[in-house]
Each structure stands twice: as C-alpha cells, then as structure tokens.
Amino acid sequence: MQLRLIKFIFLCLLVLGTPAALFAQNVSEEDQGEVEVIRVDIENSVRRIAIPDFATPANANTAAGGTAALGAQISAVIANNLSGSGLFEPVGPRGVKKVSYPEVQAPQYPYWQGRNADQLISGFVRAESGDRLTVGCYLYDVNFGNEVARAGFVVPVRDWRRAAHKCADTIYSKITGEAPFFDSRIAYIAETGPKDARVKRLAIMDSDGANHRFITNGQTTALTPRFSPNYRSILYLSYRDGNPRIYVYDVESGRQRLITQSRNPTFAPRWSPDGQTILYSMAVGGNTDVYKISVNGGTPQRLTRAPGIDVGGSFSPDGSKIVFESDRSGSQQIYVMNADGSNQRRISFGGGRFATPEWSPRGDLIAFTRIGGGFRVGVMRTDGSGIRMLTNSWQDEAPTWAPNGRVIQFFRTQRNSGKTSIWQVDLTGRSERKLPTPVNGSDPAWGPVRP
C-alpha cells in the first residue's frame, strides 16, 4: 500500500507562556535525575484542551462519507489520541459547540476561556479532486489568545484517520517537546478460544486499534510479531511446519519465508534499527543462544555461548549494542553486549527475575518484565540503575515502546481464564488504558512513525 501524505503547511509560531519550552528543556537533560524530572513535569502539564468538530467549507460526499461527518470523526480521533497519551484532558468533540469554517482561523477566545479550556484545537476538512482531502488543524492558547501551531495534510480519502493522527502528533509534539508517535502501527497476536485450545493469529492495526486486519487464519499458532522499520514485512514465529520457526512475512504480497534454513527451533525475532539485520534466538540440543543474520540470508553469527538460556534481545537505537536475557546466573536477568557479542555484562540487580528487555527508541531506558510474585512491566536506565515499575497486575508481560520512547504497550493475562488484552501505559505509570481489539490480544509490537 503506497501512501502519500503531503504536508502543505507547517508553520509553528512563537510559543510564549506554554509549558512546552520548560518541559522540553528539563527532559533533555541527561543527568541522573532525569526520570524524576519527567514525572514531575508530566503531572504539571496535563492540560484541558477543547476539541470541537472540525468544520468544512461545504459538505461534500466522499468515499468515506460527507466532509461534515468526517470533521466530527477526525476531531474524535484526535481527542482519543491525546487522551490516551495521559498528558491531556480533551474536552469534546461531544458537548462542545460547533465552530464555523471562518471561525477556525479566528477563534472566539473569550468563549473558550469561559469553557475552562487552556487550549483549543480547531480545524477543517475540505474535499479535493482525485479522492483526496485537505485537513487543516490549528492549536491556540486560549488564555494568551494566540496561535501556537498549525499544520495541514493532503491525504487520499481512505487515509483520513492518518491525517487525524498527524494532526494529533503535531499538537502533542508542540506542547510536550517530545517526538510524535500516534501515526504508527501495531502488530500483535489476536487470541480466541479456550485456554487449552487457543487460536493465535497474526494481526495488525493502527496505534489506536483502528484499521484492524487479520493476517494469518489461525490454523497454526503464530507468536511474537515485529514490524520491520519500513512496515513492509513482519517477523514472527509460526508453527506452520509443526516446529516453532521465525518467518519473515511480506505485507504486500502475503508471501513468507524462513529467516534461516536451520532445522533447529528459532524464536524471539527482532529487527536491527536499520532493518538490515535480524536478531533471533535458536535452541541447539536444548541450549538456547542469541544469533543474528542478514535480512538477505547468509551465515548466521552466534553472539552468546554461555551454557543456559540466552534469549530475546533488542538493539540500541544506534545499532551498536544489544540488550538480552540470560539465566546463566541461575535465574533470568538482563545483560548488555556489543552488537558483535563482545563485552557481555549483567545490568539487572535488585531482586526477582528480569525478562523481555526492550531498548527504548530514544536510547535512554530499557523496558522489561519483572517476575517476583506477579509479572510487572517497568523501566531502568541502560546501566541497570533507576528501576521503576509502571504496572501492577497479576501478569503483565512483553513491553514494546512507542516510537518516541514515552509510552509503552504490553499485554495482560487474566488469572485462571488466561484471557489476554493489550494495554498502554505512559512513563509515569499513572495513565494506563486498554486498547480496543476485536478479540483478545497479546505480544504487541509497536512500529515507527510513518513517513
């Protein structure tokens, strides 16, 4: 699927008096107190933000419905995005007055001040020739009475949700100083059926659960997918030949192939940040080690040699290091090594077992599952210090980072029933919510922001 998203305006005006400047300054400090600084700033920056329906100059029919209806849907998507980030309290679009098309660029500040909103997101939808839409969005500071940001996007009609995500991303980035993440996709495992006969299918969806699509039919168990950095292929584990093996699935053609011809089980696949190398685990005679292989095939390179289970792993964003899990000390713990396998050292200490390490795309933190009593998702710095638990449930597992490294998804398993669901939590651990999936879901894998 070839998507064209053309940015036709991107004008960020001077930001005065918003918390964005202060926030950005603090989180960019690479000091030891960084994590605590984030916590404080995020709490202070939750903002009430009014989001009326996007207006349209003239209601026009499109393949996705009238532009007036689309305007309402787009503002709803934006509100849902911002609410899910944990940083905003959107007001509307329901229950908020409609804004006329001329008013989009001339907001009635006193009215919105009276609505107790700090900021206002206003915008429009206009039908263009060739089954396209123009979506314009504007961010205003209600108290200061000025425009903070504006952006516009021309998209094929079927991609109207992407225009909404891009708009939300623009606003999120402007206010927080963080990189965008809403216009991204998730690969995961859709689960149905009873605990002892679970059907597990590879599925993909947008970061908010929309545009859902099943990829495999469930005849064989599928596990642990990972989108390639360009979204064109998915690594995942399948039992399609009776053995657990990693395949690379081409999204456009639907074809798939084994990543290596070895007869041994292969699992826990990951892409390198440049998409050229596949990291995986392979068991030989019961002993599991971490390997890597070129995406074009060739000879795999064995990276670990310790007796015991060395498994999983994820690259640092610059590709120079790999964080992985090993029970060489007697229990699952987290280790870091250079990308060629040298200089392996344990970084997780502090009680319990540590598993499923996942390097943040920002490079500053490693997310993990901590096992000790329950299964909880947390983060630590890349040297193992600063452990912070973000969730507290019976079984939370397998964190995956939002492309901006500020939000984490994971899956939660219910005791006894074994039912699974995908959840999202921000780095404060305060804002936690369940993702809407058509059936139960596990093994989420978040892809990068789309171009």
Partner 1 sequence: MTFSNGKMKAAILLLASTALLTACEKKEVDDLPPPATGSQGAGTQTDPNANAVRPGSQEDFLASVGFGQDRIFFDTDRYNIDSRDQVTLQTQAQWMARYPNAQITIEGHADERGTRDYNLALGERRANAAKNYLVSLGIGAGRIRTVSYGKERPEALGSNEQAWSQNRRAVTVIVN
Task: Please give the residue ranges that form the binding site for partner 1 (CB under 8 A).
Answer: 194-198, 200, 221, 223-224, 237, 242-244, 265, 267-268, 281, 283, 285-288, 309, 311-312, 325, 327, 331-332, 355-356, 369, 371, 375, 394-395, 397-398, 413, 415-416, 418, 443
State which residue, 56 or 281, has the beta carbon closest to partner 1. 281
- Taking a C-beta distance cutoff of 8 angstroms, is the pair 326, 345 a contact? no
State which residue, 116 or 264, has the beta carbon closest to partner 1. 264
| Cα–Cα distance for residue pair 346/373, rounded to 1 Å | 22
> What does 387-435 look like in DSSP terms, one character per residue?
-EE---SSBEEEEEE-TTSSEEEEEEE-TTT--EEEEEEETTS--EEE-
Min CB(373)–partner 1 separation in Å: 10
Min CB(248)–partner 1 separation in Å: 18
| Cα–Cα distance for residue pair 219/223, rounded to 1 Å | 13
For 208-322, where are the alpha helices, taking DSSP H only? none
Min CB(311)–partner 1 separation in Å: 5
Min CB(371)–partner 1 separation in Å: 7
State which residue, 74 or 268, has the beta carbon closest to partner 1. 268
| Cα–Cα distance for residue pair 360/294, rounded to 1 Å | 22
Min CB(267)–partner 1 separation in Å: 5
Min CB(292)–partner 1 separation in Å: 16
- Work out whether the CA dihedral 241, 242, 246, 248 comes out positive or negative: positive
Min CB(242)–partner 1 separation in Å: 7
Min CB(222)–partner 1 separation in Å: 11
Nearest CA among 402, 401, 377, 403 for reference residue 388? 377
Min CB(356)–partner 1 separation in Å: 5
State which residue, 161 or 200, has the beta carbon closest to partner 1. 200
State which residue, 162 or 200, has the beta carbon closest to partner 1. 200
Burial of 292 (0-12, 13-18, 19+ CB in 10 A): buried
Measured between alpha carbons, how far apart are the two ends of the chain, in Å?
A: 13
State which residue, 375 or 401, has the beta carbon closest to partner 1. 375
| Cα–Cα distance for residue pair 406/384, rounded to 1 Å | 18
State which residue, 168 or 248, has the beta carbon closest to partner 1. 248
CA distances to 162, 253, 349 from 247, in Å: 29, 14, 34
Min CB(279)–partner 1 separation in Å: 12
| Cα–Cα distance for residue pair 160/232, rounded to 1 Å | 21
Angle subtended by helix axes 160-176 and 20-27, to nearest 10: 80
| Cα–Cα distance for residue pair 406/173, rounded to 1 Å | 12
Burial of 274 (0-12, 13-18, 19+ CB in 10 A): exposed
For 269-356, where are the alpha helices, taking DSSP H only? none
State which residue, 198 or 212, has the beta carbon closest to partner 1. 198
State which residue, 206 or 443, has the beta carbon closest to partner 1. 443
Phi, psi of 434, rounded to the nearest 5 degrees: -90, 140
257: enclosing H helix or E strand: strand 256-258
State which residue, 117 or 311, has the beta carbon closest to partner 1. 311
